[in-house]
Chain A
C-alpha cells in the first residue's frame, strides 16, 4: 500500500512545460497587444486568474460542505481536495495583482467605473459609486482573499496535525467538532463572497451599468462543478498510479453524481438569469445578452450550453459511465474546458468585444493548469494520502452506493 505520494518525473516535466507555455504566451501577449489592443492582454489575465482561483477554492468548499454535512464517504480521498486547496494562496496572489493593476492602473477599458470622469458624467455609475469605487473594491478583495486563505490553510493544517494524534473516541469527537467549527466559519465567508459580492466586483462590474442578482450564484455553480471535475481528475490520476487504496468505483460514482447534478444546477441558474431578462425585455438588462445572443458571440453562447449542459446530461446519465475511470476523466476535462469557455464569454463581450480565436487565453489557461498541477503535486507529498485518524475513515472504506 502506497500512502506517501512521490511526484513522478513525468508529471513534474508536464507541469513545467505547461507553465513554460503560459509564460511564453504572456510574453507574446505583452508584445502582441500593445496600446489600444492592451485590453485583450488584461482581459485574458482577469478571465484565467479568476476562473482558476475559484475552481481551486471549490476544493475548500468541498471540504467544508462535506464536513458540515457530516459526510463520511469522501475521507478516503480527502487529502486530494486539501492539496488542491493549497493552490489557493498562490492563485489568490496572482488574481490580486491583476485586479489591483486593473483598478489602480486606470484600465477603464476593463472596469469602466475606475475612470472618475465617466462616473461623474453618468448618473447610473454615480448612484453605484458607494459600492463601485476603488477603496471599497480593494478592501473587499483583500478581506475575502485573506479570509479564504486563512480558512483554507487552517483546515489543511488541522487535518495534517490530526495525523499525529491517537485513535481514541475523545480524539475523534474533537476532530469532528473543530473541523465543523472551522468549516462553518468558512462557509459563512464563502456565501458572503462567492455567493454574493465577489463576482459582482471582479466580473460583473465589467458591464458596470448592468446588474443581475443571479450572477454570483451562476459564477459559483460554474466554478463549483469545474472544481469537482478537478478533484475527480486528481483522484483518478492517483488511483491509476496505485495510490488511494480505499478509493473504489463507489467513490467515483458519487463524484460522477455530483458532476451530473451540478451541471444541471448550473443550467438552472443559467436559464433563470436568462429567462427573466428575456421576459421583461428591458433595455438596461438586455444590453448584456445583446452581443452574446444576437452579436458575434452567438455561436459561443450556444456552444456553452451544449458543452456544459447537454453533454454532461446525456453522458453521465448512465450508471456505468459514472463508475468508469476513463469516462469520468473525459467528462471532467470537457466540463473544465466548458466552464473556462463560459468565463471567456462572461469577460470578453464587455471588454474586447470582437470574437477572435482565443489562442492567447488558451495559452494562459495552460499555464495556470501547469501551475495547479505543480502546486497540487508538491502539496500531495506533504502529508499521507489517507487521514488515518479521522473517525469517518471506516465509513469511507465500506462506502457503497
Chain B
C-alpha cells in the first residue's frame, strides 16, 4: 500500500497502443498497467507479463476434487454405512465416476475463479484507483509509474511522441482498499505521504 506518482496517457486505437507498449519497455520506464475496454490478444506478451500459473492451480484443485469424491464415497459405502444397492459391490467404481467427474470440475472451476479473483485483487468491497473514467469504455489507458530515476516531463513527451493524448500526472494509491462502490474515497491518499515524490 503506497501512494505513488504516475503519468497517464490515453490511446484511441490498439494499433497505436501496441508499438507504444513495446517502446516503453525498451525505453526502460516502469509500466504500471495498461487498461483496455476489451481483452487484447498478445498484449500480455508485449507488456512482458509472465505466463500465468492459473492452470497449474486448476490441475491441483481438480485432483483434489477427484480424491475428495472417491475417498468420501468409498468411506460412506464401505465403512460408515454399507448398503446393498441392487446387488452391486460396495465399491462400484463405474457408479462413482459421474460424481467424481462433477466434483473434479466443481473444485477446479470454483478454485480457479477464487484464485483468479485473488490474483487480480477483485472482491466486493475492494476498491482500486481508476486512472481514467473511460478506461473501460472506449479508451486505452497506459499508466507509467514514476520512480526517482524518471523525469515526469520526459515521460510525458515520450507518450506524446507515441500517439497518446490527454496526458496527465496523477498521484494515487497503487494498491487496493476497502470501500463502498458508490463512494469516491481514497483513504490512503489523504493520510499517507508519497513514497517517491
Contact = CB atoms under 8 A, between A and B. Distances in A.
Interface of A: 271, 274-275, 278-279, 281, 317, 319, 400
Interface string B66-104: 000000000000000000001000000011011000000
Contact of B59 (A274, A281, A317, A400): A317
Nearest to A275: B94
A304 to B, nearest CB: 16
A321 to B, nearest CB: 13
B42 A279 contact: no
Contacts of A275: 94-95, 97-98
Contacts of A281: 86
Interface residues of B, number: 9
B42 A400 contact: yes
Contacts of A278: 94
A281 B94 CA distance: 13
Contacts, number: 15
A275 B42 CA distance: 44
Q: Across chains A and B, which 9 residue pairs bring their CB atoms closest together, nearest first? A: A275-B94, A278-B94, A400-B41, A271-B97, A400-B42, A274-B94, A279-B95, A275-B97, A317-B59
A32 B177 CA distance: 81
Chain B interface main SS type = helix
A229 B44 CA distance: 31
Would you call the interface of chain A mostly helix, strand, loop, or mixed? helix
Nearest to A401: B41
A378 B98 CA distance: 47
A319 B41 CA distance: 17
A173 B95 CA distance: 51
A400 B40 CA distance: 12
Given A271-B97, A279-B95, 6 more contacts: A271-B94, A275-B97, A275-B98, A279-B94, A319-B55, A400-B42
B115 to A, nearest CB: 18
A279 B95 CA distance: 8
A317 B60 CA distance: 13
A317 B86 CA distance: 38
A271 B97 CA distance: 9
Nearest to A276: B94
Nearest to B87: A281
Contacts of B95: 275, 279
A263 B97 CA distance: 17
Contacts of A317: 59
Nearest to B56: A318
